[in-house]
């Protein structure tokens, strides 16, 4: 299969903590791939490694055949123009209004005349349903709207790929539904390659073509959503079905209850 991103034997540490210990991940072109796992497994870190904001300690990250961590800065920036990233917080520039935020990458990189930029920005805002909100400042937007503006900004340069960092976290059911539908529609309409990092199983499994489950720095499971729900791995089943107890125990490691309560001390 044709892969846009290929990660091989990736190892990454923060201080003495090993975040990834030799993982292999392939992101197929034109599909929605989800990277899932419990909080704190370094899913966001993975996106930063793909975007070249962090460097791996071992192994390689290739995007469209180019080793991201070995690119000179100019080449890396050229590659980033073909990647969009939707941050969890939206990461909108707080001193610019919605219109100028979406126009920002166009003004920076294209040199198009202002009349053309206006049309493009309005089209992108129309796609996320916020053409009418173009005069608002980021502080006046709800969390879901901020994410949609950030999405419009991420697709402003018509990238080949978009990375979504926890797009569903902290959203009410309506804006969650809107985001799920938007991500799906964008992927269908422009044959984008999408990478979703998330731990919202329901929403993500609903639109993903392929899911990677990551825990403790390793890939625990890989496959289509339906396969993982029926997975042989007890861990994968616990995660996908959201069971409170299983291979990941409910209790934090502790001495036996009897000894703690009756043992005095």
Partner 1 sequence: MLEFLATLGRSAIGTLQRLGQGSLLLWHMLGGLGDLARRPRLLLVQVFSVGVLSVLIVAVSGIFVGMVLGLQGYNTLSQFGAAQSLGVVVAASLVRELGPVVTALLFAGRAGSALTAEIGLMKATEQLSGLEMMAVDPVKRILTPRFLAGFVSMPLLAALFSALGVIGGYFVGVGLLGVDDGAFWSQMQAKIDLHDDIVNGVIKSLVFGFVCTWIALFQGYAALPTSEGVSRATTRTVVHSSLAVLGLDFILTALMFGA
Taking the complex as a whole, the smallest distance from the CB of residue 125 to partner 1 amounts, in Å, to 17
At closest approach, how far in Å is the CB of 139 from partner 1? 11
Structure token pair of residue 3: 């892969």
C-alpha span between 169 and 176 (Å, rounded): 9
Closest CB to partner 1 among residues 71, 229: 71
Q: Could you give the CA distance from residue 16 to residue 89 in angstroms, rounded to a whole number?
A: 28
Q: From residue 5 to residue 44, what is the string marking binding to partner 1 with x (rule CB under 8 A)?
A: ----------------------------------------
Q: Closest approach of Cβ 152 to partner 1, in Å? A: 13
Q: Which of 46, 154, 50 is nearest to 92 (CA)?
A: 154
Site map for partner 1, 158-197, x if CB under 8 A?
A: ----------------------------------------
* Contact range with partner 1 by CB under 8 A, out of 1-9, 47-55, 128-136, 188-196: 47-55
- CA atoms of 169 and 199, how far apart (whole Å): 8
Instruction: Please give the size of the binding site for partner 1, defined by CB under 8 A.
Output: 23
x/- track of binding to partner 1 for residues 124-163 (CB under 8 A): --------------------------x--x----------
| Helix (H/G/I), strand (E/B), else coil: 114 | helix
**Sheet order of strands, 66-67 included:** 17-28, 3-14, 58-63, 66-67
Phi-psi region of 82 (alpha: psi -120 to 50; beta: other; left: phi over 0): alpha
For residues 147 and 222, which CB has a smaller minimum distance to partner 1 in the complex?
Answer: 147
* DSSP class per residue in 143-174: HHHHHHHHHHHHTTT--SEEEEESTTTT--HH
How many residues are there in the chain?
Answer: 265
Binders in 70-129 for partner 1, by CB under 8 A: 77-78, 80-81, 83-85, 87-89, 91-94, 104-105, 108-109
Binding residues vs partner 1 (CB under 8 A): 48, 51, 53, 77-78, 80-81, 83-85, 87-89, 91-94, 104-105, 108-109, 150, 153
């Amino acid at each position: 299969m044709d892969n846009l991103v290929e990660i091989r034997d990736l190892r990454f540490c923060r201080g003495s903590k090993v975040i990834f210990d030799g993982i292999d991940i392939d992101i197929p072109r034109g599909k929605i791939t989800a990277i899932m796992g419990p909080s704190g497994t370094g899913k966001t870190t993975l996106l930063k490694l793909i975007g070249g904001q962090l460097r791996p300690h071992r192994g390689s990250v290739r995007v469209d055949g180019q080793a991201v961590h070995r690119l000179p800065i100019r080449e890396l920036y050229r590659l980033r123009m073909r990647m969009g990233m939707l941050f969890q917080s939206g990461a909108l520039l707080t001193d610019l209004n919605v219109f100028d935020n979406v126009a920002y990458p166009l003004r920076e990189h294209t040199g198009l005349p202002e009349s053309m930029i206006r049309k493009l920005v309005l089209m992108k805002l129309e796609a996320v349903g916020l053409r009418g909100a173009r005069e608002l400042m980021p502080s006046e937007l709800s969390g879901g709207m901020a994410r949609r503006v950030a999405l419009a900004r991420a697709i402003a340069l018509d990238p080949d790929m978009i990375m979504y960092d926890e797009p569903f976290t902290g959203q009410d059911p309506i804006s969650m539904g809107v985001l799920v539908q938007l991500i799906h529609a964008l992927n269908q309409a422009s044959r984008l390659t999408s990478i979703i990092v998330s731990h919202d199983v329901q929403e993500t499994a609903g639109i993903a073509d392929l899911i990677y489950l990551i825990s403790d720095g390793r890939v625990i499971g890989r496959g289509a959503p339906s396969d993982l729900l029926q997975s042989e791995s007890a861990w994968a089943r616990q995660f996908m079905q959201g069971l409170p107890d299983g291979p990941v125990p409910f209790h934090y490691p502790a001495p036996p209850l009897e000894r703690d309560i009756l043992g005095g001390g």
